[in-house]
Amino acid sequence: PGDRQANSLGSGFIISADGYILTNAHVAKDVDKIIVRLSDQRERPAKVIGVDELTDVAVLKIEGENLPVVKVGDSEALEVGEWVLAIGSPFGLERTATQGIVSAVGRNLPSGTYVPFIQSDVAVNPGSSGGPLFNLRGEVVGINSQIYSSTGGYMGLSFAIPIKLAMQVVDQLKATGEVTRGWLGILLQSVNNDLAEAFKLDRPRGALVAQVLPESPAASAGFKPGDIILRYGGEPVEDSSQLPRMIGVTPVGKTIAMSILRNGEPLEIKATIARLETVEERVSTMDEYSDPRLSMTVADLSNEQRRTLGIEDQGVLVASLDEGPAANAGLYPDDIILQIDHQPVKNANQFVEMAKEMPKGKAIPLLVRRESES
């Protein structure tokens, strides 16, 4: 039989009169052809300008002049309880509008280290990904990105990427086709009530340094495990989830002063921010192995990467995922799988062989390292 052609649907919106379009990275990534259908039913081929998987933002371009554009609003002005409206094509039903309220702002999700999501109860279903989230003034405040669901359909929890963050990504994708992020080289842990009491903090706040990666800017600056970062560049750090975003938007090469607590004593440390490697760069020099049963590709870690991550003799990198068992189980690109069914995994080839032995239909535990690395 010949190759089968698979079609998928997504939504998006025009942000400039000359045809730049915003949508989700998971809508535009790894596709052979994209056809954009405008509101007047005209269809035009689109070119992918750039994709940023870490924020799930993609920029497309169609040919045209004087195209109708959305008005971009202020996502930082959104308040809990405010009414919002989503427009998309759920299940191919074009120009479908749904409404709801903002349930939370700055929501942190495991799949979006660099995104402070807007949570709402707006109904968002498959096909609506990449569509706009409007405030009642008709301004776009977010890009509908994902839902939390046990069934695959809407269950009252939907999440949008703030438009301010998305437009920052757009500027970089249009200029260079990629997004450059800052990197400090620390693994973080949240500060709970018990830790706050142990470190003599008045309340849970800051980001606890769990590990300092070798040969990193943090190591050069003198960071130590157990340090608590309270301020970054003068801005307070209320939670560990904030810090990767703060570091990520810092220009590479810039020296930043951080206020920390070490053994109960306040200190100031200055570090020069380096560049965070992309997933593609990490796997470009590795051997990759695909597992069609799990719909995923894993890659070996190089000796340098093992040293940087503090992993000696086990672990494989999740290089890419398609829809399938691995993605449904909650794995994400850049996760590091350390064990399958309590057995250590030393390399990608061994992972594939171990995966072949897994009984069909049986849930198998994986030990995964998903670091809040900055």
Q: Does the structure show a pLDDT above 90 at 15?
A: yes
313 is catalytic: no
DSSP state of 24: -
Task: State which CATH number among 3.40.50.1000, 2.160.10.10, 1.10.10.10, 2.40.10.120 fits the domain covering 1-179.
Answer: 2.40.10.120
The residue ranges of every structural domain in the chain are 1-179, 182-275, 279-369
Q: Does the structure show a pLDDT above 80 at 151?
A: no
Q: How far apart are CA 306 and CA 274, in angstroms?
A: 18
What average pLDDT does the segment 259-277 reach? 93
pLDDT tens digits for range 24-76: 998 888 788 999 999 888 999 999 999 998 899 999 999 988 999 999 999 99
> Average pLDDT, whole number, for the chain?
86
- Kind of pairing, strands 182-183 and 274-275? antiparallel
Write down the CATH superfamily of domain 182-275: PDZ domain (2.30.42.10)
CA dist 361 → 19, 126, 298, 354 (Å):
46, 25, 21, 15
Which pLDDT does position 285 carry in this prediction?
45
Q: Does the structure show a pLDDT above 80 at 266?
A: yes
Which pLDDT does position 1 carry in this prediction?
45
What average pLDDT does the segment 196-209 reach? 90
Which pLDDT does position 327 carry in this prediction?
77
Q: Does the structure show a pLDDT above 70 at 106?
A: yes
Q: Does the structure show a pLDDT above 90 at 358?
A: no
Domains 182-275 and 279-369 share a fold: yes
Band (pLDDT 50/70/90 cuts) for residue 281 is: low
129 is catalytic: yes
Band (pLDDT 50/70/90 cuts) for residue 318 is: confident
Q: Does the structure show a pLDDT above 90 at 23?
A: yes
Which pLDDT does position 289 carry in this prediction?
63
User: Of 75, 103, 128, 129, which one is the catalytic site residue?
Assistant: 129
Q: How far apart are CA 89 and CA 126, in angstroms?
A: 8
Task: State which CATH number among 3.40.50.300, 2.40.420.20, 2.30.42.10, 1.10.3720.10 fits the domain covering 279-369.
Answer: 2.30.42.10
